[in-house]
Amino acid sequence: MSTLRFKAISNLSSIASPEVEGSTKITGIFGSNVFTLKVAREYLSDEGYKSLVSSIKAGQKIERAVASQIATGIRAWAETKGVTHFTHWFQPLTGTTAEKHDSFFTLKSDGTPIEQFDGDALIQQEPDASSFPSGGLRATFEARGYTAWDPSSPAFILGIGLGKTLCIPTIFVSYTGESLDYKAPLLKALEALNKHAVDVCNYFDKNVNRVTPTLGWEQEYFVIDEGLFNARPDLVLSGRTVFGHNSAKNQQLEDHYFGSIPERVYAFMRDYEEESYKLGIPLRTRHNEVAPAQFECAPIFEEVNLAVDHNTLLMDIMSRVASRHGLRVLLHEKPFAGINGSGKHNNWSMATDTGVNLLAPGKTPKSNLMFLTFFVNSIKAVHDYADVLRASIASAPNDFRLGANEAPPAIISVFIGQYLTKVLQDVKERVSQKMDEQDESMLKIDIHKSIPELLMDNTDRNRTSPFAFTGNKFEFRAVGSSANCANPMTVLNTIMAETLKNFKKEVDTLIDKGEKKEIAIMHVIREYIVSSEKVLFEGDGYSEEWEREAKKRGLPNVKTTPLALDAMITDKAKQLFESNNVYNHLELEARHEIELEKYIKKVQIESRVMGELATSHILPAAIRYQNLLANNIKGLKDAGLPESGYANQKQILEKISEHINKAADFVEKMIEARKICNAMDDTRTKAIGYQSQVKDAYFDQIRYHVDKLELLVDDKEWYLPKYREMLFLR
C-alpha cells in the first residue's frame, strides 16, 4: 500500500493527456446526439411531429398510435448514428442516474431476427428496480415501479466506450402513481407554477398563456490525479478525505483563482465539453475556483426540466471522461477540510411565452409593477417556507459545507441590493388605505425611476447570501455540488406557485370590494413586504453577528440534516405539496424516510472508513516510527549519553505515543457508539444518533490526532497521499 502513494507520485510526470479532437466550431457539433425538433421534423410524419411539439410546448398527451410512429422515427435516426440499444434514462432517489439497456434486436414469432422499437417500448418500461429506494412506497402499494417517457426532454445518444445507446428521459413511478424519482415531482411543480404564474401575469398582460421557470446552474468540482485518488480509500469509498493535514500552502494566496487552468485539466475540460455539446448541453463558462484544484463550469440557462437533466447528465459525463485522462472528478461538497467546498448555484427565474423574464426589471412603469409583483412574491415564498427550502438542500455532505469556511450559512435569507431595498421601502411608506389613483400612478412612476433598467450591471454583489437577487434572477447558492437540482427546484417552484395563488386570492378579494386592480395589487405587495422583510439581509452572511441577529429575528438556523428534514413532513409542508399536487403525504413521508436513510448510510460509511484507515493505515505506520524512536533512545541511553542527548527524540516519542493512544481510544469508542445507533429502530432517532453520537462526537477528535501524526511520522512511512500532493501536484 505504501508504494501506491509513491508510485502515483512518480507516475505523475509521465502521464500524457489523450488527444482531444476539439471542434473548431461548437455550432457544428452542438446537439448532434440529440433528437431535436429539427431532427424530428426530418424523421417524423406531420402527425407525429405536431403531436410531439404540442406535448413539449403545452404538455399535451401523445396517443399510443402516434407514439409508435415517433418511436420508429427515433430509431431510424438513432440507427444512422450506429445505435443498437435503447434505455429508459431516469433519476432515482439514490442521487445518480439509472439505465437498463435493451437492444432494438428481437425475434419474430417465426424466429426471424428484426430491429424494432415500438410505441410501447418508448412510452413505458418496467425496469427491475426493486433495489432503488422507495421509502416503503412500493411495498405499500405495488411491488413494482415503471418508467414513463417524458417527451418534454429530448431523447439523446450516449456513447459509452465504443457502444452507443439511445436514452429516453423518463419519470419513475409506482403502479399506483406515486413518484419514485426526482423528475416526476419536478414536472408537477413546474405545472403548478405555470398555472398560478399565468393567472398573476394576466393582471398585466392577457396574452400570457404559459410561464416556464428557468435554471442556470453553476457546477463546482475538484479534479485530482487518479493514481493519488486510488491511494486514498476514503476518497474512493466516501468521496471525501476523512484525514489529511492542511498543506503548508493552501488557498491563502488566492493564486489559483486568478491562475491559468493547468494543462491536464484543460485537456479534460475540452474533452467533456465536447461530449456535452454533442448532447445539447449549452456550456458557456469554465474557470478555476478559489481552492487549489477546484474548478467551475456553467451553461446558458434553460427551461428547468431540461437544465436539471443536463446537469445530471453532465455530472455523469465528467466522471466518465475524467478516467480517460487519468483524473478523477470530486463532486463531493467538501472533499478537503480547511479549504473551500463545492456548491452548485441555482440561478432561477421565470419566463413567459410572450418572451418576458418575470424577474427582470421592465421598460415601462406597468411592466415594472409586474416585475415587482413577482419579485416580492419570491421573497414572500422564501420567507414563508424557508424551512422547506432548507430541507431541500439538506444532505450529509452538504452539512460539511453549510456554515463552514466560505459557504452560505444554514440560515435562509434573501439579498436584494440597495436599489430594490429602497423601492420596497418606498412602497411600504407610500401605499396606504386612502391611496387614490393619482398616488398610485405617482408611486408607479417613482418605482420605475428607482430601478435602473440594466439592474444586472448595477446590482451590488453579495457573495455570502444563500439566496441573492442578481439583477434578473435569484441565485440559490446553498445547493450542494453533488445534489440533483430537481429537489430544490421542485420546492422553489412549489412555494412560488403557492404564494402566487394566495396573492391572486387576496388581490381578487380587494377588487371584489371595489378597489382598482393596480391599487389592489400594491396593497397586497405592501402587505407581503411587511410580513416577509425579516428574511432580507444585506450584510455578511458568514459572520457570527448574523447568526445572532438571525436568531433575534426568529429565522430558523438548522445546522444538521436529520433535523432540517423535519420540515418535509410538517402539516404546513403536507398542505403545501398536496394542494399543489406535487406530493401526497405518503410520498412526503417516504421521501423523508429515504433522505434520513441516505444520511445514516453516508455517515456510517465515513465512520467505517475512518476506523479502518486509522487502524490499518495510520496506526501501524505510527507504531513503527514509535519503535524506531524508542530503540534509538534506548541505544543512546545504553551508550551512556545523558538525558539531554536524546531529549528531542523523547519529546517526539511522547507526542506520538499520546496521539496513537488517543486516536485508538476514540476509534474504539466510535465503534461502540455505532453499535448503539445501529440498534435504534426509529429512522429519525437513528439519524440524529449518527449525527450527534458518531459524527459530532468523534470525527473531528480522531482526525485531530491522526493529522498530528501525519506531521510527526516519517514521510516515507505515510501511506496516504497528502493534501499538498493531491492539490498541488500536476
Determine contact, residues 341/221, Cβ cutoff 8 Å: no
Which residues are within 8 A (CB) of 608 and not within 5 positions of it... i.e. 6 or more apart? none
Cβ closer to ligand ADP: 359 or 507? 359
| Contact call for residue 332 and Mg ion (CB under 5 A) | no
Cβ closer to ligand ADP: 186 or 394? 186
Given 121, 166, 184, 215, the residue binding ligand ADP (CB under 6 A):
215
Which residues are within 8 A (CB) of 336 and not within 5 positions of it... i.e. 6 or more apart? 222, 241, 244, 291, 723, 726, 727
Cβ closer to ligand ADP: 448 or 477? 477
| Contact call for residue 349 and ligand ADP (CB under 6 A) | yes
Q: Which of ligand ADP, Mg ion, none sits in contact with 380, Cβ below 5 to 8 A by type?
A: none
C-alpha cell, 54: 404540442
| Contact call for residue 378 and ligand ADP (CB under 6 A) | no
Measured distance CA(24)–CA(2) in Å, rounded: 44
| Contact call for residue 216 and ligand ADP (CB under 6 A) | yes
| Closest listed residue to residue 132, CA positions, set 187, 178, 188 | 178
> Residue with C-alpha cell 423574464?
357
Given 91, 288, 347, 378, the residue binding ligand ADP (CB under 6 A):
347
| Closest listed residue to residue 224, CA positions, set 244, 243, 237, 239 | 239
Cβ closer to ligand ADP: 348 or 375? 348
> Residue with C-alpha cell 434486436?
105
| Closest listed residue to residue 718, CA positions, set 301, 231, 151, 54 | 231
- Which span sits near ligand ADP by CB under 6 A: 208-216, 363-371, 405-413, 415-423? 208-216
State the Cα angle at 105 between 101 and 111, rounded to 5°. 135
Q: Which of Mg ion, ligand ADP, none sits in contact with 580, Cβ below 5 to 8 A by type?
A: none
Given 301, 415, 476, 503, the residue binding ligand ADP (CB under 6 A):
301
| Closest listed residue to residue 351, CA positions, set 303, 309, 284, 306 | 303
Closest approach, Cβ 550 to Mg ion, in A, equals: 23
| Contact call for residue 345 and Mg ion (CB under 5 A) | yes
Closest approach, Cβ 659 to Mg ion, in A, equals: 42
| Contact call for residue 300 and ligand ADP (CB under 6 A) | yes
Closest approach, Cβ 353 to ligand ADP, in A, equals: 15
What does the buried/exposed string (b/e) look like for 611-632 if buried means 16 or more CB atoms within 10 Å of the residue's CB? bebbeebbbebbbebbeebeee
Residue nearest to ligand ADP (CB): 216
Q: Which of Mg ion, ligand ADP, none sits in contact with 473, Cβ below 5 to 8 A by type?
A: ligand ADP
Q: Which of Mg ion, ligand ADP, none sits in contact with 299, Cβ below 5 to 8 A by type?
A: ligand ADP
Closest approach, Cβ 20 to ligand ADP, in A, equals: 24
Cβ closer to Mg ion: 227 or 417? 417
* Interface with ligand ADP in residues 152-191 (CB under 6 A): none
| Contact call for residue 473 and ligand ADP (CB under 6 A) | yes
Measured distance CA(353)–CA(211) in Å, rounded: 6
| Closest listed residue to residue 339, CA positions, set 235, 253, 411, 265 | 253
CA–CA distance from 553 to each of 277, 357, 418, 467, 537 (Å)? 47, 32, 21, 17, 11
Closest approach, Cβ 34 to ligand ADP, in A, equals: 19
Q: How many CB atoms lie within 10 A of CB 652?
A: 16
Cβ closer to ligand ADP: 359 or 688? 359
Q: Collapsing DSSP states into helix, strand and coil, what is residue 557?
A: strand
| Closest listed residue to residue 88, CA positions, set 78, 79, 96, 98 | 98
Residue nearest to Mg ion (CB): 345
Closest approach, Cβ 294 to ligand ADP, in A, equals: 15
What does the buried/exposed string (b/e) look like for 9-40 if buried means 16 or more CB atoms within 10 Å of the residue's CB? beebeeeebeebeebeeeeebbbebbbbeebb
Closest approach, Cβ 475 to Mg ion, in A, equals: 5
Measured distance CA(500)–CA(504) in Å, rounded: 6
Cβ closer to Mg ion: 390 or 477? 477
Amino acid making up residue 75:
R
Which residues are within 8 A (CB) of 560 and not within 5 positions of it... i.e. 6 or more apart? 399, 688, 691
Measured distance CA(511)–CA(4) in Å, rounded: 74
Cβ closer to Mg ion: 332 or 345? 345
Given 54, 230, 357, 584, the residue binding ligand ADP (CB under 6 A):
357
- Which span sits near Mg ion by CB under 5 A: 233-241, 320-328, 342-350, 402-410? 342-350
Closest approach, Cβ 468 to ligand ADP, in A, equals: 9
C-alpha cell, 722: 497528502
- Which span sits near ligand ADP by CB under 6 A: 344-352, 443-451, 573-581, 628-636? 344-352
- Which span sits near Mg ion by CB under 5 A: 158-166, 344-352, 378-386, 689-697? 344-352
Residue 12, CB-side half-sphere exposure with 13 Å CA sphere: 18
The residue count of the chain comes to 730
> Residue with C-alpha cell 425496469?
127
Determine contact, residues 242/606, Cβ cutoff 8 Å: yes
| Contact call for residue 278 and Mg ion (CB under 5 A) | no
Closest approach, Cβ 296 to ligand ADP, in A, equals: 9
- Which span sits near ligand ADP by CB under 6 A: 126-134, 343-351, 440-448, 611-619? 343-351
| Contact call for residue 344 and Mg ion (CB under 5 A) | no
Q: Which of Mg ion, ligand ADP, none sits in contact with 391, Cβ below 5 to 8 A by type?
A: none
Q: What is the DSSP letter of 533?
A: G
Q: Which of Mg ion, ligand ADP, none sits in contact with 472, Cβ below 5 to 8 A by type?
A: ligand ADP
* Binding-residue total with ligand ADP (CB under 6 A): 14
DSSP states of 256-313? HHHSPPPHHHHHHHHHHHHHHHHTT--EEEEEE-SSTTEEEEEE--EEHHHHHHHHHH
- Which span sits near ligand ADP by CB under 6 A: 345-353, 405-413, 435-443, 644-652? 345-353
- Which span sits near ligand ADP by CB under 6 A: 19-27, 184-192, 342-350, 610-618? 342-350
Which residues are within 8 A (CB) of 194 and not within 5 positions of it... i.e. 6 or more apart? 210, 211, 212
- Which span sits near ligand ADP by CB under 6 A: 42-50, 213-221, 575-583, 604-612? 213-221
Given 299, 341, 361, 611, the residue binding ligand ADP (CB under 6 A):
299
Q: Which of ligand ADP, Mg ion, none sits in contact with 349, Cβ below 5 to 8 A by type?
A: ligand ADP
| Contact call for residue 298 and ligand ADP (CB under 6 A) | yes
Q: Which residues in this chain contact ligand ADP in the complex, by CB under 6 A?
A: 214-216, 218, 298-301, 347-349, 357, 472-473
Q: Which residues in this chain contact Mg ion in the complex, by CB under 5 A?
A: 345
